[in-house]
Amino acid sequence: MSRTSTTDAVGEELLDVGADIRTLQQDGVVGRRGAFSREWVADVGEDILAAFDDARSREGGAVGRGPNRYYVEIHPEQLRGFVDLVTHPWVTAVSEAVLGPDYEIVELGFDIPFAGAVNQPWHRDFPSPPETYEQRRLTSLAFNLTAVDTAEDMGPFEIAPGTQWERGEDFDHGMFPDRSTFGRYLELAQRKYPQMGDISARSALTLHRGTKNVSQKSRPVLVLGVDAPGAGHDELHDLQLTREFHDQLPPGVVRHLHARVVDELEPIVQKHTIEGLVMGEP
């Protein structure tokens, strides 16, 4: 964590993200405004909707994360802007500064709360490892990019800053704090209103939830999961690349991708379901 100005695979200097890393350490989340053009994000939105239609057409393609809320994993080549995303200077600099030069891209997907989505219970996405709650070292990051301008009525993302360091040994499955403690997280809670082009990085251990979507709009959010070597979250996902797509990727991208190279893409059956989110908050 000491290096905040780093070099990429071809030796070019990356952004100095020292202030961002300090915010991430303190709050468990940090954002970068206007990282991408609105036109580029519009293409991402189209690809998300196409992938969602495909996923909903087969069993296990989309998993419920609460009423009218879904999560879908996709293959990198389903996203026209994949290379732009994973080579963005802020994404690469933050990944290297937090996770080290050999960070691994293990997940690509999206979350969509539709009209009628309800408050999720406060949760983290997986149990905290000892490296985090004992050594205060983050071993994974989730980058989030909204495909739409977020408004108050669209069920904005809510996060409780600083909770990434909580041990969580008394959480249900290491992920869900007891509902009797929700008041404390509500006192800490911050709602996020990213606009098209913004991107954020967060620890998935920072307690968070999606809120009620009382609009008639959906709020798709792209998710890029990145691990430090050995973090183990690749076991929950199944990134695949066709040989043709793999061979067209820049070497600096390939070295960070934890993915299978296949002759033909196989439909992704979700491995990482979060049962506690299915019903939402009562």
Exposure of 194 by Cβ count < 10 A (0-12 exposed, 13-18 middle, 19+ buried)?
A: buried
- Per-residue pLDDT reduced to its tens digit, 50-96: 999 999 888 778 888 889 999 999 999 999 999 999 999 999 999 99
| Per-residue confidence band for 159, with pLDDT thresholds at 50, 70 and 90 | very high
Q: Would the pLDDT of 10 be above 60?
A: no
Indicate the average pLDDT of the chain.
91
User: Would the CA dihedral through 85, 137, 100, 124 be positive or negative?
Assistant: negative
d(CA 192, CA 146): 11
Using alpha carbons, list the distances in angstroms from residue 144 to 35, 81, 110, 169, 209. 12, 14, 9, 27, 14
Residue 105 domain-assigned?
Answer: no
Residue 38 domain-assigned?
Answer: yes
Task: Tell me the average pLDDT across 180-194.
Answer: 97
Query: So what's the pLDDT on residue 3?
Result: 38
Rg, C-alpha atoms of the chain: 18
Task: Tell me the average pLDDT across 161-173.
Answer: 96
Q: Would the pLDDT of 2 be above 60?
A: no
CATH number at residue 201: 2.60.120.620
Query: So what's the pLDDT on residue 4?
Result: 43
Residue 135 domain-assigned?
Answer: yes
3 state DSSP class of 191: strand
Range of the domain at 169: 17-95+114-277
Q: Would the pLDDT of 169 be above 80?
A: yes
Q: Where is pLDDT greater, at 282 or 214?
A: 214
Q: Would the pLDDT of 119 be above 80?
A: yes
Residue 8 domain-assigned?
Answer: no
Q: Where is pLDDT greater, at 212 or 6?
A: 212
Q: Where is pLDDT greater, at 37 or 278?
A: 37
Residue 265 domain-assigned?
Answer: yes
- 166 neighbors 11 (Cβ within 8 angstroms): no
Using alpha carbons, list the distances in angstroms from residue 201 to 242, 250, 261, 264. 28, 23, 27, 31
Query: So what's the pLDDT on residue 64?
Result: 85
Q: Where are the alpha helices (DSSP H) in 122-207?
A: 130-133, 182-188
Q: Would the pLDDT of 143 be above 60?
A: yes
Query: So what's the pLDDT on residue 276?
Result: 54
3 state DSSP class of 84: helix
Q: Would the pLDDT of 217 be above 80?
A: yes
Structural domain total, the chain: 1
Residue 4 domain-assigned?
Answer: no
Residue 136 domain-assigned?
Answer: yes
Sorted by sequence, the CB contacts under 8 Å of residue 43 that are 6+ apart come out as 80, 81
Residue 143 domain-assigned?
Answer: yes
d(CA 194, CA 34): 10
Closest CA to 93 of 199, 211, 218: 199
